[in-house]
Structure 1
Amino acid sequence: MKTKHSLKLALLALAITTLAGCPEPNTTDSVAVNTENTQDTYLGKIEYQDQTITKASAAKLNRQIDLQRASQLTLWAMPITSFYHSYNATKKNLGLNDDAEPVIGLYEGYDAVYPFLTANVTTPYTISIVDLSATGPLVVNIPEGSVFGVANNAWQEPIKEIGSGEKETLLFVGPGQDYHQDFKGEIIQNNTFMLLYFYRVLGTGEDAEKLKTAVTAYKLSDAANPPKTKYLTFNPKPEDKVFIGTAPEGMEYWELVNAYLQKEPMADRDRFFYAWLKDLGIEKGKPFNPTAYQKEILLEGVKTGMAMGQAIAFNKTQEKFASSLYGTDSGWEDAMAGMNPKIDLETYSMFNERTSYTFEAVTTSAGMVSRVAGKGSAYLGSYYDADGNALMGGNNYILHMEPNPPAANFWSITVYDIANRLIIQNDTKRADLSSRSEDLVTNSDGSVDLYFGPEVPNGKESNWIQTNKDESFFVYLRLYGPEQAYFDQTFPMNKIVKTK
């Protein structure tokens, strides 16, 4: 025992001697101790104990992380929530209960096209939204003639442009689905189960009317004995409840996200978004039962995210959308936001552009971004007046259209409400004016003055679109067959001016 005790004393003495001989530490290399350290950030003050973040500040930051992610997830999900909600609304409006029935809807006129985001009243729509997980692979036969359209996946990306003018037999195949390898026709592999295809028939007269219902569609499993294609005309009566395609806010938004997540395969580009969703209670293969905290975050996130979506869509900047502003100070912006409908480019996938467009519209095609003069279509949007104020339905406005708008086919002006991005509902049941309007009054030099407001200006009935008090709005100019003056931006566009 004495030996061990003596050894301990000796080692202690050696340690003291060694420490006594060491130089003092260089205090200039150490971090100063501060028990009340704070940092000013854009989230406010962050508190530290020396260099360690306090529990209270860590909780504050973790909540902000979740809120920011929920807001960005709102923007990320805009294409799919709009698509899924449009599918649900279409089924209800057409009275469909069977997901496996490949019905084609006919929509023409003010009341018929109302449910679709930023629909055009001037031209009719023929639309089919299909769940390939219910139908299996789908055969669509396109007749010869002037039938032009596109097929989109659930992200509103074009997977097939329709419009060669030639007869085509198409087979749309969902993820992982089998089909006859000897199928005679074009096979389009869709990367989502949800599919939308729509087309327009250009031209007029009896032949054009026949072409509207000349497309046939049936399940591949019925190919040996195809049933007659079912066309349904949507023509709601005043007393009918109409379901709109605008994606809802609140928890319904996240229920649509969850529906997509459970049904569709995950794209590799979205892996991090799926991780964020998992933290907020949305996970593939599991029920969506958010905790009280998760629900709070999701509700706050979608509210802020929708505001962000409007900020991006209605206030495009050169920094985010280099090619989207028309002229230097015209008050008009490219509604497509300079988007490539393919979204996935060689070095990145478009996010701002996709968010901007799908906040206010639905479906994309190559023709919508064509740069060939006289082909396709172009879309300009105006969201504020000449003074930079919102276009408010209780005010009166005038838009002076210069002579010869650069449209090889025709041009149209349409007014939409901000809340739902749908054609404005008014007493006159008119939301648009166009170069095809029979009663449009043109000035002696070929220019046109268009009026927007709650009351018709004296003698201007033919050139007036009624707006609603306490309801702000925005305006689209469509150019069908945009000409070179549009691409060169040499055609002068004027701002919408508030009048007395």
Structure 2
Amino acid sequence: MFIDLRDGPVVIEPPTESLCVVDDFWFRYVADMGIAGPDGEKGGRYLFLPPGYDGPEPDGYFVHRTPTFTNWAVFRALGGVEAIKQTRVHRLAEAADPPEMAFVNVADKRFNTVHANDISFFEEVDELVQEEPPESLDPERAGQLAAIGIRHGSPFAPDERLRGILDTAARTAAGISRALVYFPREPASFLTEGSSWKQAFVGGSYEFLHDHARLLDARTQFHYFATVITPAMAHAQVGAGSAYAYTAEDGQGRILDGGKHYRLTLPPNPPAKNFWSVDLYDTQTRSLLQTDNPYPSLASLTGTVALEPDGSTVLWFGPTPPAGQETNWIRTVPNKSWFPMLRLYGPLQPWFDGAWMPSELTEV
């Protein structure tokens, strides 16, 4: 959900046994709640204060100040929907008598969350610049935006020449970003040498810093295809946080084709304290692959995924299921490329050691 602090501080009570994050409106990390937060999955009360707030800070809260009025809160509960409904959000002024929460199920609803890839991208950025305090953006990036006419408190009105330049820039940047996501050249982007599996965080820093330098390609690689930023993902601790790997290629380096069939093997004992999941995404939208099932995924949490005699897990992908493998199959869409995302919640030591690795995808 989005929280707006223009009308004052907001209190969030996350569910127990959850992985919850708050980012500001420039997608910068503000706070972890739950397993990776100070409440340590037991639940607690978090207080978020708006820019410039100089009022009292009451006791009994984990207090965070954020540079933007609008913030994004992500709630992930290991206990599923019923656990999510433990979540409570209200204004501090309503603490004595909080209003009832309303929960909206958006699983089967269609809506567009993809940023524009043309001149209107810059209009989206301008909207944020106008809505938020000028101090919320660092002088370097504020200066880059000012150079093309995006300034807080001023209308963004590029002439025809500049509009053409910015339109070309947005389209070119989208192509560069896709290349950085699916075909990075940085060796550190890959889980191991010779593997097509890539990691979303290069350098182990949620701010993409390494040796006093910002890893700009790595930042683009993550933010173009993923959402929400937290140290618990970039530098997960053993048994806490989450770890991710993805690939858009089979073991021969060929783009995954929704009209073909593939096999993926997860070796025995996946190193996840909580659970593992594999979800399928559309390479174009970077959103979940749209099929007849709104949940194109398999997870150990469901208890329905079958194991092989040696304890390994074989997953199947394709437009139709292999005979007898329906429980371990996810549908793909002909004429559309896709990519799987492997998630480990509560990653364990074999993941960090590289002792456990998923197989390459094999066309069958």
Calculate the TM-score normalised by the size of structure 1: 0.65
1:269 positional shift: 7.5
Secondary structure of the residue aligned to 2:103 is: strand
Alpha-carbon distance in 1 for matches of 2:307, 2:42: 39
1:409 positional shift: 2.3
Cα deviation, 1:456-486, whole Å, max 9, x if unaligned, reads 2233222221111221111111112212111
Counterpart of 2:125 (choices 245, 251, 257) is 257
Counterpart of 2:31 (choices 157, 160, 180) is 160
Q: 5 Å matches for 1:26-175?
A: 128-133=1-6, 135-142=7-14, 145-163=16-34, 164=39, 165-166=41-42, 168-175=44-51
1:184 positional shift: 5.4
- Distance of aligned partners of 1:467 and 1:406 in 2 relative to their CA distance in 1, 3 Å threshold: same
8 Å Cα contact 2:321/2:331 also seen in 1: yes
- The amino acid across from 2:230 in the alignment is S
1:317 corresponds to 2:193: no
8 Å Cα contact 2:203/2:210 also seen in 1: no
Match of 2:75 in 1: 199
Secondary structure of the residue aligned to 2:180 is: helix
Counterpart of 1:397 (choices 262, 265, 286) is 262
- Max Rg structure: 1
Match of 2:85 in 1: 213
1:167 positional shift: 5.3
Q: Per residue, is there more helix in 1 or in 2?
A: 1
Cα deviation, 1:117-149, whole Å, max 9, x if unaligned, reads xxxxxxxxxxx212223x332233457x43441
Secondary structure of the residue aligned to 2:151 is: coil
8 Å Cα contact 2:205/2:235 also seen in 1: no
1:252 positional shift: 2.8
In the alignment, structure 2 segments of 5+ residues that lack a partner are none
Alpha-carbon distance in 2 for matches of 1:305, 1:213: 40
1:195 positional shift: 0.9
Alpha-carbon distance in 1 for matches of 2:271, 2:131: 44
8 Å Cα contact 2:268/2:311 also seen in 1: yes
Q: 5 Å matches for 1:383-422?
A: 383-422=248-287
- Distance of aligned partners of 1:182 and 1:344 in 2 relative to their CA distance in 1, 3 Å threshold: farther
Cα deviation, 1:158-192, whole Å, max 9, x if unaligned, reads 21221224553332122223322556533311012
1:489 positional shift: 0.7
Cα deviation, 1:234-255, whole Å, max 9, x if unaligned, reads 2466xx6x22322222233112
1:273 corresponds to 2:154: no
- Distance of aligned partners of 1:306 and 1:267 in 2 relative to their CA distance in 1, 3 Å threshold: farther
- Distance of aligned partners of 1:446 and 1:189 in 2 relative to their CA distance in 1, 3 Å threshold: same
Counterpart of 1:433 (choices 298, 301, 304) is 298
1:342 positional shift: 4.2
- Distance of aligned partners of 1:260 and 1:317 in 2 relative to their CA distance in 1, 3 Å threshold: same
Alpha-carbon distance in 2 for matches of 1:329, 1:344: 25
- Distance of aligned partners of 1:311 and 1:488 in 2 relative to their CA distance in 1, 3 Å threshold: same
1:156 positional shift: 2.4
Match of 1:67 in 2: none
Counterpart of 2:231 (choices 366, 370, 377) is 366
Secondary structure of the residue aligned to 1:471 is: coil
1:382 positional shift: 0.9
Alpha-carbon distance in 2 for matches of 1:460, 1:202: 26
Alpha-carbon distance in 2 for matches of 1:184, 1:450: 47
Alpha-carbon distance in 1 for matches of 2:312, 2:257: 25
1:303 positional shift: 0.8
Match of 2:315 in 1: 450
8 Å Cα contact 2:19/2:241 also seen in 1: no
Alpha-carbon distance in 2 for matches of 1:310, 1:377: 24
- Distance of aligned partners of 1:400 and 1:179 in 2 relative to their CA distance in 1, 3 Å threshold: same
Secondary structure of the residue aligned to 2:263 is: strand
- The amino acid across from 1:372 in the alignment is Q
Cα deviation, 1:58-82, whole Å, max 9, x if unaligned, reads xxxxxxxxxxxxxxxxxxxxxxxxx
Q: Aligned pair count? A: 359
Match of 1:72 in 2: none
| Identical residues among aligned pairs (%) | 29
Secondary structure of the residue aligned to 1:334 is: coil
1:415 positional shift: 0.7
Cα deviation, 1:99-129, whole Å, max 9, x if unaligned, reads xxxxxxxxxxxxxxxxxxxxxxxxxxxxx21
Q: RMSD over aligned Cα, in angstroms?
A: 2.7
- The amino acid across from 2:46 in the alignment is L
Alpha-carbon distance in 1 for matches of 2:306, 2:44: 43
8 Å Cα contact 1:282/1:288 also seen in 2: yes
8 Å Cα contact 2:45/2:62 also seen in 1: yes
Off by >4 Å, runs of 4+ in structure 1: 181-184, 266-270, 342-346
- Distance of aligned partners of 1:339 and 1:314 in 2 relative to their CA distance in 1, 3 Å threshold: farther
Alpha-carbon distance in 2 for matches of 1:287, 1:399: 52
- Distance of aligned partners of 1:465 and 1:444 in 2 relative to their CA distance in 1, 3 Å threshold: same
1:403 positional shift: 2.0
- The amino acid across from 2:2 in the alignment is I
8 Å Cα contact 1:393/1:468 also seen in 2: yes
Counterpart of 1:468 (choices 309, 322, 333) is 333
1:498 corresponds to 2:363: yes
1:318 positional shift: 3.6
